[in-house]
Amino acid sequence: MLETRIAPRYRVSKPAQIEYGGDKTLCTVRDISTTGAALELSDLTAAVPAAFTLIIPEDKLKLPCHVVWRRGFRIGVAFD
């Protein structure tokens, strides 16, 4: 398969939070690059909006992003 991403992704397993409208939903960052990430949700019923702030406490990051794909418990985001 031909890789078409702008930036290489790196596999990780970092706890994170999806923050929007004062609410926070726990998730895990499964891979990350300079342009986006793949997130895994522990609860499929959690409503994740189209745009939110991704918080990665371990790296002291707060990244505005938007959803580009959804598959089951995973979502792919691009950083704004």
Per-residue pLDDT tens digits for 19-28: 999 999 999 9
In a domain, 3, yes or no: no
Tokens 């406490």 -> residue: 57
In a domain, 45, yes or no: yes
Mean pLDDT of 61-68: 97
pLDDT at 42 over 90: no
User: How many structural domains does the chain have?
Assistant: 1
In a domain, 41, yes or no: yes
Report the 10 Å Cβ neighbour count for 19. 15
Domain that holds residue 18: 10-79
Contacts of 58 (CB under 8 A, 6+ apart): 14, 15
The pLDDT confidence band at residue 2, using thresholds 50, 70 and 90, is low
In a domain, 1, yes or no: no
- Residue 3: per-residue pLDDT: 55
pLDDT at 39 over 60: yes
Assign residue 31 the CATH number of its domain: 2.40.10.220
In a domain, 17, yes or no: yes
